[in-house]
Amino acid sequence: MLDNFLPPSAVVLIAIGMAVQAHAQDRMPPIPADRMTEAQRKAVADFKEARGVDISGPFVPLLRSPEVMTRARAMGDYLRFRSVLPPRLSEFVILLTARSWTQQYEWYAHRDLAITAGVTEATAGAIADGRRPRPMTDEEEVLYDFCDELKRNQSVSDATYARMLRAFGEPGIIDAAGIVGYYTMLSMVMNTARTPLPAGAAPGLAPLPR
């Protein structure tokens, strides 16, 4: 039995992958080019011009509303590539958001980007397991508390706000909240649409206990 040779977490993820393959259905698959509206074709062309690649992931279901897709792409262009937060920290926040929504595609798309940007393997593993990473840098600590409070309390304490202000200033607070909000929106879209992982990719997140 394969189960005898793998750690429990790997067995869980394999089981999740089998369940996804067996039961999930992509509710909003790619729209064939010959069935796109003029607005959709323009949104795709604008996306390719801005990003240099074809649409994928959340932008496939978002194309059902080309205006939303185009505006979401523009916001992502800033939050992902030009935010006040450096890539290591913005990717850290993205991983936290993907974990909070158990969003497999977002985790798949950003986990390796986060490691390349400087998030440690141990930190990414703890986030995937739903644990507080230890140790973290001072900047990661305050961002973790900020994101955790937003998720649990729908607000941020005075103490955490003050720490964020010292670390990142008001622009950094807004950008951090923007990253959480943007990737929450993408996670909601893909969880609704049941956007699948690319062929051959395995899910990286086990369900968290309710």
Question: How large is the average pLDDT for residues 109-129?
Answer: 97
| Cα separation values, 134 from 6, 125, 140, 141, 168, Å | 25, 11, 10, 9, 22
| Cα separation values, 192 from 36, 96, 99, 156, Å | 21, 19, 16, 27
Superfamily of domain 87-192: AhpD-like (1.20.1290.10)
CB neighbours of residue 186 within 10 Å: 26
Please compute, for residue 173, the number of CA atoms within 13 A of its CA located in the half-sphere on the CB side.
14
19 pLDDT band (50/70/90 cuts)? very low
Query: Could you give the CA distance from residue 108 to residue 103 in angstroms, rounded to a whole number?
Result: 9
Report the chain's C-alpha Rg in angstroms.
18
Provide the CA 31 distance to its chain's centre, in angstroms: 23
Question: How large is the average pLDDT for residues 113-123?
Answer: 97
Q: 60-70 pLDDT, tens per residue?
A: 999 999 999 99
Establish whether the linkage from the previous residue to 133 is cis, with ω within 30° of 0.
no
DSSP string, 122-150: HHHHHHHHT---SS--HHHHHHHHHHHHH
**Confidence at residue 209, expressed as pLDDT on a 0 to 100 scale:** 82
pTM for the whole structure: 0.87
The residue type of 182 is: Y
Query: Could you give the CA distance from residue 62 to residue 29 in angstroms, rounded to a whole number?
Result: 11
Does the pLDDT at position 10 exceed 90? Answer: no
pLDDT, averaged across the chain: 91
**Confidence at residue 4, expressed as pLDDT on a 0 to 100 scale:** 43
Q: 150-202 pLDDT, tens per residue?
A: 999 999 999 999 999 999 999 999 999 999 999 999 999 999 999 999 999 99
Question: How large is the average pLDDT for residues 34-48?
Answer: 97
Does the pLDDT at position 137 exceed 80? Answer: yes
CB neighbours of residue 106 within 10 Å: 26
Question: How large is the average pLDDT for residues 118-133?
Answer: 97
Residues 6+ apart with CB under 8 A from 107: 95, 98, 99, 128, 203, 204, 205
**Confidence at residue 176, expressed as pLDDT on a 0 to 100 scale:** 98
The residue type of 139 is: E
The DSSP output letter for 5 is G
Query: Could you give the CA distance from residue 200 to residue 204 in angstroms, rounded to a whole number?
Result: 13
Domain boundaries, the chain: 8-81, 87-192
Does the pLDDT at position 22 exceed 50? Answer: no
Please name the residue that has the structure tokens 């950094």.
Answer: 172
Question: How large is the average pLDDT for residues 110-134?
Answer: 97
The DSSP output letter for 32 is P
20 pLDDT band (50/70/90 cuts)? very low
**Confidence at residue 15, expressed as pLDDT on a 0 to 100 scale:** 47
The residue type of 200 is: G
What the block records as the tokens of 11 is 């067995």
